[in-house]
Amino acid sequence: MKVVVDIEKCTGHARCNVAAPAFYELDSDGYNVIRERDVTSGDESAAREGALACPERAITIIE
Ligand code: SF4
């Protein structure tokens, strides 16, 4: 499983980070710093919760 973030869609709401702070890091302006990241089994719930929290649908989970 991996996460892909479309930075063109990311508008810096930071909701991914609020939902899963240990997984979704933000830059100093509140934008997601992840572009593509493999997800270990222990991080799957956090990755999904953060993706669901994104109002821009900028985060895609690839199984
Ligand atoms: S919630 Fe979505 S729009 Fe907001 S910072 Fe995270 S990826 Fe970007």
Number of domains comprising the chain: 1
Region class of 12: left (phi > 0), else alpha (psi between -120 and 50), else beta: left
Going from the Cα of 16 to the center of ligand 1, the distance in angstroms, rounded, reads 6
**In the chain, % of residues over pLDDT 70:** 100
Q: Which atom of ligand 1 is nearest to the CA of 24?
A: 6
- Using the atom order of ligand 1, give the atom closest to the CA of residue 13: 4
Query: pTM for the complete prediction?
Result: 0.95
CATH of the domain at 48: 3.30.70.20
28 burial type by CB count under 10 A (0-12 exposed, 13-18 middle, 19+ buried) = exposed
Cβ(59) – ligand 1 distance below 6 Å: yes
| Average pLDDT over every residue of 25-32 | 97
Instruction: Tell me how far the alpha carbon of residue 3 lies from the centroid of ligand 1, in angstroms.
Output: 13
Residue ranges making up the domain that contains 7: 2-62
